[in-house]
Amino acid sequence: MIATAWRVAGVGFSLLVVLAAGLLYGVSPDQAAFLNSSVGDLTIGFAVRTDDLTVLMLAVVGVIATCVQVYSLGYLHQRAASYHALVTLFTAAMVTVVISDSLFFLLIGWEVMGACSYLLIGHYWERRDARSGAIKAFLMTRLGDVGFLFGIFVLGLGAGTFRISELDPAAISPGLLTGGTLLLLVGVVGKSAQVPLQTWLPDAMPGPSPVSALIHAATMVAAGVFLIARLYDVFSASQTTMTVLAVVACVTMLFAALCAMAAVEVKRVLAWSTVSQLAIMFSALSLGTTAGRHAALFHLVTHAAFKGLLFLCAGVLLHQVGSAAFVVLRRYTRRGRLRKALRVTFVTMTIGLASLAGVPGFAGFFSKDTVIEAAWHHARDGSVVGWIVLVSVCLTAAFTAFYCMRMWLWVFFRTPALAGALGAFEDENATADLDEPDTSKLRDAPWVMLAPLVLLAFAAIALGYVDGVHLDWVIASVSTVLVLLGALPAYSLWSRGADPRPVLLEREFGVGTAYHVMFVVPVQLLAKLTVAGDRDVIGGYVRGAGRAGTLASQGFRKLQTGNVQTYLTAAVVGVVALAVLAGVIGS
Site for another protein in 32-61 (CB under 8 A): 35-42, 44-45
Q: Identify the residue among 25, 125, 447, 465 touching another protein (CB under 8 A).
A: 125
Give the per-residue SS3 of 296-353.
HHHHHHHHHHHHHHHHHHHHHHHHHHCCCEHHHHHHHCHHHHHHHHCHHHHHHHHHHH
- Binding test (CB under 8 A) with another protein, winner from 432, 462, 474, 578: 578
Residue 488 or 531: the one with the smaller Cβ distance to another protein is: 531
Please identify, using beta-carbon distances, which residue of 95 and 107 lies nearer to another protein.
107
CB nearer to another protein: give 25 or 519. 519
Q: Looking at this protein, which amino acid is placed at residue 101?
A: D
Contact between 135 and another protein per CB under 8 A: yes
Q: Please list, in sequence order, all residues whose beta carbon lies within 8 angstroms of the beta carbon of residue 91, skipping any fewer than 6 positions away.
A: 10, 13, 14, 17, 61, 65, 214, 219
Nearest approach, Cβ of 181 to another protein (angstroms)? 16
Name which of residues 154 to 183 contact another protein (CB under 8 A).
154, 157
What residues from 506 to 545 belong to the interface with another protein (CB under 8 A)?
A: 523-524, 526-531, 533-534, 538-539, 542
Q: How far is CA 314 from the centre of its chain?
A: 18
Largest Cα span, the chain: 116
- In whole angstroms, what separates CA 144 from the centre of its chain? 11
Cis peptide upstream of residue 174 (ω within 30 degrees of 0)? no
CA 372 to CA 283: how far, in whole Å? 10
Cα distance between residue 488 and residue 490, in whole Å: 5
Selected from 17, 47, 64, 119, the binder of another protein by CB under 8 A is: 119
Instruction: Tell me the site size for another protein, rule CB under 8 A.
Output: 84
Short-list 512, 500, 490, CA closest to 202: 512
- Report yes or no: 256 and 273 within 8 Å, Cβ to Cβ: yes
Q: Is 1 in the site for another protein (CB under 8 A)?
A: no
Q: How many CB atoms lie within 10 A of CB 469?
A: 8
Taking residues 67 to 106 in sequence order and writing x for each that binds another protein by CB under 8 A, - otherwise, the string is ---------------x---------------------x--
Residue type, 403: Y
**Residue span binding another protein (CB under 8 A) among the ranges 14-22, 118-126, 406-414, 478-486:** 118-126
Helix and strand numbers (H, E) in the chain are: 25, 2
Q: Which among 56-64, 295-303, 365-373, 578-586 is the span making contact with another protein, rule CB under 8 A?
A: 578-586
Peptide bond into 196 cis (omega under 30): yes
| Residue 82 CB, nearest approach to another protein (Å) | 7
Nearer to another protein, 26 or 562 (CB): 562
Nearer to another protein, 118 or 282 (CB): 118
- The radius of gyration of the chain from alpha carbons, rounded to an integer in Å, stands at 30
Q: Which stretch binds another protein (CB under 8 A): 227-235, 327-335, 355-363, 546-554?
A: 546-554
Interaction pattern, residues 346-385, with another protein; x per rule: CB under 8 A: ----------------------------------------
**By the rule CB under 8 A, 571 interacts with another protein:** yes
Element (H, E) at 409: helix 384-412
Q: Which is nearer to another protein, 196 or 489 (CB)?
A: 196
Q: Would you say 95 and 86 are in contact if contact means Cβ atoms under 8 Å apart? A: no
The yes or no reply on residue 582 touching another protein (CB under 8 A) is yes
- Binding of residue 580 to another protein (CB under 8 A): no
Smaller CB separation from another protein, 384 or 578? 578
- Which CB, 41 or 428, lies closer to another protein? 41
Give CA–CA dist 118/137, Å, rounded: 6
